[in-house]
Structure 1
Amino acid sequence: MARSTGEQELRAAFRRLERDLPHRLASSLRWLRHPSSRWARLPAGIALIFGGIFSFLPILGVWMLPLGLMLLAADVPFLQRPMARFTHWIIDRVEGWRRKR
């Protein structure tokens, strides 16, 4: 079965994000992306979104919200394209910031 454009964009965004993450985090994210990990991915995505909402508390941060949405987007087609574009946009900004430093 052919993959939708949104799904392809999201996969590319995940791969790009994994390149910038430390190996341990990247391998965990890769495992969560695997189709057999769906029942772990959904609660993890919801927990990250919930943690992102409470980013004013110690340890929790705003970074949790987009990562949780990305994990949910793997299973929710209408989130795939917007989350892929948002991820590429954020990574572009971070890379630009790194080049300036």
Structure 2
Amino acid sequence: MNRDQQRLNHQLDRLGQKLPSWAARSLQWLRKSSSRWVRLPAGFLLVLGGIFSILPVLGLWMLPLGLLLLVQDVPFLRRPTRQALTCIERRWRRHKRRRRQADA
């Protein structure tokens, strides 16, 4: 396992700890290697649905979720996805810190 995959797995583990139990179990099942045949088509369909987010049923939320599913099996997506997750996590922490300071 290369370094990008290890870091990504660590980030996904931390994300799973913050999710409700049913979502964490689903995430763990989807990350198993035996779930590849579910993960790839679901990820592709979610990305495709995110691209067509102008339609009423589909939404932009589908794009990052699809990428998170595909990143397990597509090596060239690992580094950019890991970097995006790190950036989002930093911004979220900064936002929470500023909000706490404003409330105090």
Runs of 4+ in 1 over 6 A off after TM superposition: none
Q: SS at 2:28's partner residue?
A: helix
Instruction: State the AA in 1 paired with 2:80.
Output: P
Q: TM-score, normalised by structure 1?
A: 0.82
Q: Identical aligned pairs, as a percentage?
A: 52
Larger radius of gyration: 2
Q: TM-score, normalised by structure 2?
A: 0.80
Counterpart for residue 88 of structure 1: 86
How many matched pairs?
A: 99
CA RMSD of aligned residues (A): 1.8
Q: SS at 1:61's partner residue?
A: coil
Higher normalized contact order (CA 8 Å, seq sep 6+, divided by chain length): 1
Counterpart for residue 23 of structure 1: 21
Counterpart for residue 51 of structure 2: 53
Counterpart for residue 42 of structure 1: 40
1:27-84 per-residue CA deviation (whole Å, 9 max, x = no partner) reads 2111100111000110111122122223344454323212211211111111111111
